[in-house]
Structure 1
């Protein structure tokens, strides 16, 4: 069944503003039910966790429901779901945890495709411990990772490989499983940044070969926070610094301080919303998520194809840097002889939000060696309408011809 975008949009109060949002890679709009779940949980009754009284039990239930929902979304075990303030915070936390045993002679592998949150924490951890950093390069002509030297980069000295499942800048979805298989062959762990990927694909961390998979619910209709998935057994082998009286139970030994039960309830509501978009006959939440994601993906691919065709008609006035064979519905554009920031400003005057920048993806942005100091990013979301697209395209036509 085709995605009913008009009906879907009625669930988002913010869309009444008239803004055409193409800023989803930086954070999507939020359905009313997510805000309601947050408010209802926060206004209680709500206390610290326990089982003696309703307010305590509500906190317990919010945590348990969050772990189950996130596990269904990611194809994970609820006992391996770790809450974090953000994906960046989780990367820094686990870089600290995992690097405890690193030293001179050990190696860490990062890529030129990743957001800096899956690069800098590992580089800084390596610097502290004396480990060596090695790189998987980006082929800028294809916007793909260059895996021709994979066997040379990932060696018996490699302790961890950090790789994105999808570039937040270019949309490129590299062959994570190929990288993971090479890493596992030499006994290395694989930390996957799934922030952009989770918003556009069905996640199966086992199929990806991810030992750790991090994502951000606010990129897929939820509140601002981070989620990490790993096997409970792997988490059991990691011992973080923690307060003496705090629990040592996994995954809670990695969650410092009192959890924000209301935000966790918001994540659960967002995942339930995703599962209800177009579930077909499926009844189990994981299956409903898969069916709904397929419908959204079909729609996003059709819209991306339309935008690409219209941009191609503008000739050399627009350069589309998102050109990998396997990629999300995100496009990174520059305008030879013109400023992408000016394009962003012109669109904003028309209530079209397509932001310009490098979006913390400093490695791929630097590799592109652009004359412009930024680029325009156009990201699609489930609520992107045909009218939104026409307004975007009309604005870009006017910008390049004006």
Structure 2
């Protein structure tokens, strides 16, 4: 189906301010439907979940709806959806719970390509349990982490492999199904950071082989929240610390305190918005597949335009391999200019493309970027050809 970016943009009030937003990898702009859903929940009577009062029932309905929507988004099951304050918080919670069963002799594998939210929790969990931490390296010339890179550090003692589905810095996409298969053959679980992949492609947790899959609604047009998927059977085997009065049922045993009902309502609205991008038909999962397939094609064309434009500008240094499949993300610097200066210069021209390491500290270090990092330009559902050209013009002026 045809992707009508102008029709999509008309539903984002924030775009009226006039900036060209390439800052989506750090947090996308929000459509009116999501804001209305959050505000509508806050204006309604809501109480702790229950069935006696209408306020209790409304809270229960919001939670059930959000779990169903999130399951449709990732191709999972509603009973396997856990909500938390952020992906980082959820990853720390799961790492601490899993580490209760680890000890000296066990091993945990992380990748240098990852955001620190899928490295540091496992570093701390390994240290607390006495397990050994092993790091899978990637090719800094291409930005690619291969299955062989991970297999090189696997052993019969590996308990878990933590890997990103797409680098938040480079956009490069490891072969997660092959990595998960190798981990499974070694008897290990796979924890997949899907934060940077979920806004740009159809997610199917079973096809990925992800035992755990974590992502962030505020990266795919929703409110600031984190969500995690695992099968209910796997969640049943994990026992996080919790308050005594809390339910021990799955997935509730992982959700500390009262859930933010307004943010859950906003998450459902964001997923429904994605499902309606191109007017697909069928179930919500069917519509999501249709919409995300069309969106990926739209964003890929814009990424080609951006890559070609950057390649034509003298003194622009690009990172990663543009020929490799990746999310619509470009990482670059200008020879002789600091990333911070470029960031400010772009902002002065109405182009929001921030600079830094974006919490991918080990990845940035492997690329030789140090703490200054580079400029990251991310394409979103509301990005247009003219905005890409606006970015390229600004970069050429700065160069």
TM bracket, shorter-chain basis:
over 0.9
CA deviations 1:16-61 (Å, max 9, x no partner) are: 0001100000000000110111111121111111111211110000
Which structure 2 segments of 5+ residues have no match? Answer: none
* Residue 149 of structure 1, CA deviation: 4.7
Write the distance in 2 (CA, Å) between the matches of 1:158 and 1:250: 26
**Which residue of 1 is the match for residue 213 of structure 2?**
213
SS in 1 for 2:160: strand
**Which residue of 1 is the match for residue 326 of structure 2?**
327
**Which residue of 2 is the match for residue 194 of structure 1?**
194
Write the distance in 1 (CA, Å) between the matches of 2:341 and 2:16: 26
Write the distance in 1 (CA, Å) between the matches of 2:381 and 2:205: 23
**Which residue of 2 is the match for residue 63 of structure 1?**
63
**Which residue of 1 is the match for residue 382 of structure 2?**
383
**Which residue of 2 is the match for residue 313 of structure 1?**
312
Write the distance in 1 (CA, Å) between the matches of 2:132 and 2:372: 30
Write the distance in 1 (CA, Å) between the matches of 2:370 and 2:179: 32
CA contact (8 A) 1:195 1:216 kept: yes
Say yes or no: does 1:298 pair with 2:297.
yes
**Which residue of 2 is the match for residue 113 of structure 1?**
113
**Which residue of 1 is the match for residue 152 of structure 2?**
152
CA contact (8 A) 1:136 1:147 kept: no
Would the alpha carbon gap of residues 52 and 372 (structure 1) be closer, same or farther in structure 2, given more than 3 Å must change? closer
**Which residue of 2 is the match for residue 348 of structure 1?**
347
Q: How does 1:248-327 map to 2 (within 5 A)?
A: 248-280=248-280, 282-315=281-314, 317-323=315-321, 325-327=324-326
CA contact (8 A) 1:174 1:326 kept: no
Give the RMSD, CA atoms, in angstroms: 1.1
Write the distance in 2 (CA, Å) between the matches of 1:259 and 1:370: 39
Which structure 1 segments of 5+ residues have no match? Answer: none
CA contact (8 A) 1:358 1:365 kept: yes
Would the alpha carbon gap of residues 378 and 205 (structure 1) be closer, same or farther in structure 2, given more than 3 Å must change? same
Moved over 4 A (4+): none
Aligned residues: 398
SS in 1 for 2:93: helix
* Residue 147 of structure 1, CA deviation: 4.0
* Residue 372 of structure 1, CA deviation: 7.8
Write the distance in 2 (CA, Å) between the matches of 1:62 and 1:17: 32
TM-score w.r.t. length of structure 2: 0.98
CA contact (8 A) 1:354 1:377 kept: yes
